[in-house]
Structure 1
């Protein structure tokens, strides 16, 4: 009987923690990153400030948990979509990853804003943790997509810019050299450009800039991806 009571308390605590996170994202959607505060969430939930601090000791603890959850969810969706396409179809894997990102963003607009929008004022992210692990996975996933396309795509890149490892963040350079030995710095530059094209129209759509301009943003996005994939010498 005691174990049943403990299990019930744990379940209720988990539900409350999830509600706190949902309200935090809703507050951010309505008032921007500045609107996230533990006291405001407590008011929304009818809790005392002391009660909510038993779940998250500080606002930064809550934001860290939100970012970890959101980023991990996004990368899980992108990786699952990519892995559903055979390794021998690099163009199809790029398309699958990108479309999964857009679909996830449309389903989780507040989460997209949290990790790709304006930073939360005063927030100090901790070193390490699931959020950085998810960021690492996203970076490695995009680089891997370009690495698979590089035998063809590399020959199609302009010759005017000679990239060196010193052009990039040391951590990114070290990560790429460790996980993709033999891949040149120019491939990292291409991966960043691919990321920019994948996210550009998604960001415009999430922030409402396409709503009055295009009736079918999905078609625009697919056309952009098709052009991107063709520019790499691939087909989707």
Structure 2
């Protein structure tokens, strides 16, 4: 009796699915470019359809409303940022929490410089009239980013905690209940002061990047990367770590 073997087959998208995916990607690329050129008001399905030579009805088969398009964009952009920063962080050993913080921060800046319209979409200019749906992809990606930053602080907390003793005392009531529930589930040993520190770390990572993206730093210094790097080294040192 011979043993029969089966060879698994790999399904590839058919031509129609591939074309649809390519068109969807082109719509999103044009939307981000329109936003970069004309601000958040410039995101319009009709304007995108005209540029692509499509009818309004055709583009609505991809995104029913402008808000559907914006929701997808936010999810894609946030996910790309988190993946880039996570990859850089994971290239540094867990035994080097200061180095992992530096890697995340530098990767975040490099991504933002390469994708300024995406940075503005998720951290800067609100799209007028846009209401993000509950549990939308942007919220999931933002929570993933918050969890990753909390994880960085959790790794640094044994060293950083004594340096925070002169600061304000926090309680769980100071924070959003959804955030508290998530943090206490994933990091049961962290006190509320560590969450406040996470927000401060986030602010220091993003502050100089936002100034650079919005054109405030380059007129003042030839290489803004040096200032950001020095600030991140100071941040790491303030946690009692080395980079």
- Shorter-chain TM-score bucket reads over 0.9
Residue of structure 2 equivalent to 1:200 = 207
- Gaps of at least 5 residues in structure 2 are 1-12
Of 76, 79, 98, the residue aligned with 1:72 is: 79
Q: Deviations over 1:123-180 (max 9, x none)?
A: 1111214322211110011011111111111100142411111111111111111111
Residue of structure 1 equivalent to 2:240 = 233
1: CA distance, partners of 2:231 / 2:142: 24
Relative to the length of structure 1, the TM-score reads 0.95
Contact 2:63–2:69, Cα closer than 8 Å, also in 1: yes
Is 1:50 the equivalent of 2:24? no
Contact 2:71–2:136, Cα closer than 8 Å, also in 1: no
Counterparts of residues 133-152 of structure 1 (less than 5 Å): 133-152=140-159
Is 1:181 the equivalent of 2:181? no
Q: Deviations over 1:84-126 (max 9, x none)?
A: 1111100000000001100111111110000001211111111
Of 213, 217, 229, the residue aligned with 2:224 is: 217
2: CA distance, partners of 1:145 / 1:120: 31
Is 1:17 the equivalent of 2:17? no
1: CA distance, partners of 2:165 / 2:184: 22
Q: Which has the larger radius of gyration?
A: 2
Segment drifting more, 223-232 vs 39-48: 39-48
Contact 2:71–2:137, Cα closer than 8 Å, also in 1: no
Residue of structure 2 equivalent to 1:30 = 37
> Residues 160 and 204 (structure 1 numbering): CA distance in 2 closer, same or farther, change over 3 Å?
closer
Greater share of residues in helix: 1
Relative to the length of structure 2, the TM-score reads 0.93
Residue of structure 2 equivalent to 1:153 = 160
Q: Secondary structure at the match of 2:74?
A: helix
Is 1:61 the equivalent of 2:59? no
2: CA distance, partners of 1:71 / 1:172: 18
* Runs (4+) off by over 4 Å: none
Q: Secondary structure at the match of 1:27?
A: helix
2: CA distance, partners of 1:167 / 1:137: 21
Q: Deviations over 1:183-204 (max 9, x none)?
A: 1111100100000000001111
Residue of structure 2 equivalent to 1:106 = 113
RMSD of the TM alignment (CA)?
A: 1.3
